Amino acid sequence: MCGTLSSVDQYLNLKLKEVTVNDGEKHPHMLSVSNCFIRGSVVRYVQLPADEVDTQLLQDATRNEAEKNVSR
């Protein structure tokens, strides 16, 4: 299932807007659903738009975060 991400909370619960289901034929359950809430614990992957991700920024942020955890 895919959609536009509208918000994420600290448990990685997702709220999606304008939801579309990748294979609507096979999964008609969400035909009439446009907004939904997904429990974070059931998520395996989130596919992201590659060209909108600043990988350098992510790597720097990860290093900073790792530093913080060491000094703790």
Partner 1 sequence: MADDVEQSISATVKEPVDLIKLSLDERIYVKMKNDREITGRLHAYDQHLNMVLGEVEETITTIEIDEETYEEVYKTTKRSIPMLFVRGDGVILVSPPLRTTANI
Partner 2 sequence: MKFRYFINMAALESYVNHTVGIITADGRHFVGTLKGFDQSLNLILDDSHERVYSTTQGVEQVVLGLHIIRGDNVVIVGEVDEAIDSRIDFSKIRAEPLPSIVH
Closer to partner 1 by Cβ: residue 32 or 71: 71
Amino acid at 51: D
10 binds partner 1 (CB under 8 A): no
* 5 backbone dihedrals φ, ψ, rounded to 5°: -75, 125
28 binds partner 2 (CB under 8 A): yes
Q: Is 37 within 8 Å of 17 (Cβ atoms)? A: no
**Could you give the 3-state DSSP secondary structure of residue 44?**
coil
Q: Is 15 within 8 Å of 36 (Cβ atoms)? A: yes
**Residues making contact with partner 1 (CB under 8 A):** 12, 40-41, 43-50, 53, 55, 58-59, 61-63, 65-66, 69-70
**Residues making contact with partner 2 (CB under 8 A):** 1, 7, 9-11, 13, 15, 19, 25-39, 41-42
